Structure 1
Amino acid sequence: MRHDAVRGHLDGLLLAALETGPLHGYAIITAVQRRSGGVLELRTGTIYPALDRLERLGLLRSSWQTSGERRRRCYELTEAGRRSLAGERTAWQEFTAAIGAVLDPAPPEAAI
């Protein structure tokens, strides 16, 4: 899938990946890839600025956690993030319905 196909939907993808609980950046990338059946591959250079922006907007909060000798920044949804995710889902459903109505051929109308 083209990398630019994700543009405009990145926030929703990141919020959805975090819906089940806190994850660090690489785990978010892996979750999106796994849930998309390997079709969507996010880059670290793409997600970290987006995660920082979502945190500044109050949709995420982060904390540092240690795993062995490695420190990882973990992100989780805030209540505002959950509301935003619900809005993203509604917008996505409306968008796909509209695109589907244009791309899917309409059944021929019955002759009168």
Structure 2
Amino acid sequence: MRSSAQFKKGVLDICVLYLLQKKDRYGYDLTQQVNSYIPITEGALYPSLRRLVKDGYCSTYLQESPNGPSRKYYHITNTGRVYLADMLTEWDEFVASFNQLRKEADLDD
């Protein structure tokens, strides 16, 4: 499936926060999880993670790894949970409006 990089970038934050609400994850794990549904590169994820941390929606901590160096884990903050809830509401409203537009446009044919 081919899609716009800008569109993916717009939904990446919501995907990351949604995954983090379930459990803390490190960057490569997040990339793999998102990539199983929406094709992204590892490099696309890290600017989003930096922005989410800078804005206070996530925090980070280091954890020892049995297979090498310590990993940086990302944890959703309470502010991030509120932001995610707001984003999900906006997303659902957007999708519903777009689907209504498609339905009515198809009736016009």
> With structure 2 as the length reference, what TM-score do the two structures score?
0.85
Q: Percent identity?
A: 29
Counterpart of 1:2 in structure 2 is 3
- Specify whether residues 3 and 24 from structure 1 end up closer, same or farther in structure 2 by C-alpha distance, changes over 3 A only: farther
RMSD between superposed Cα atoms in Å:
1.7
Counterpart of 1:76 in structure 2 is 75
- Which aligned runs of 4 or more in structure 1 are off by greater than 6 angstroms? none
- Residues 82-93 of structure 1 mapped to structure 2, 5 A cutoff: 82-93=81-92
Number of positions where the alignment pairs a residue of Structure 1 with one of Structure 2: 104
> With structure 1 as the length reference, what TM-score do the two structures score?
0.83
Q: Return the alpha-carbon distance in structure 1 between the equivalents of residues 69 and 104 of structure 2.
A: 53
| 1:69-95 C-alpha deviation (Å, 9 max, x unpaired) | 222110010000000110110010011
Q: 1:81 is paired with a residue of what secondary structure? A: helix
Uncovered stretches (5+) of structure 2, i.e. residues with no partner: none
From the CA coordinates, give the structure whose radius of gyration is larger: 1
Q: 1:65 is paired with a residue of what secondary structure? A: strand
Uncovered stretches (5+) of structure 1, i.e. residues with no partner: none
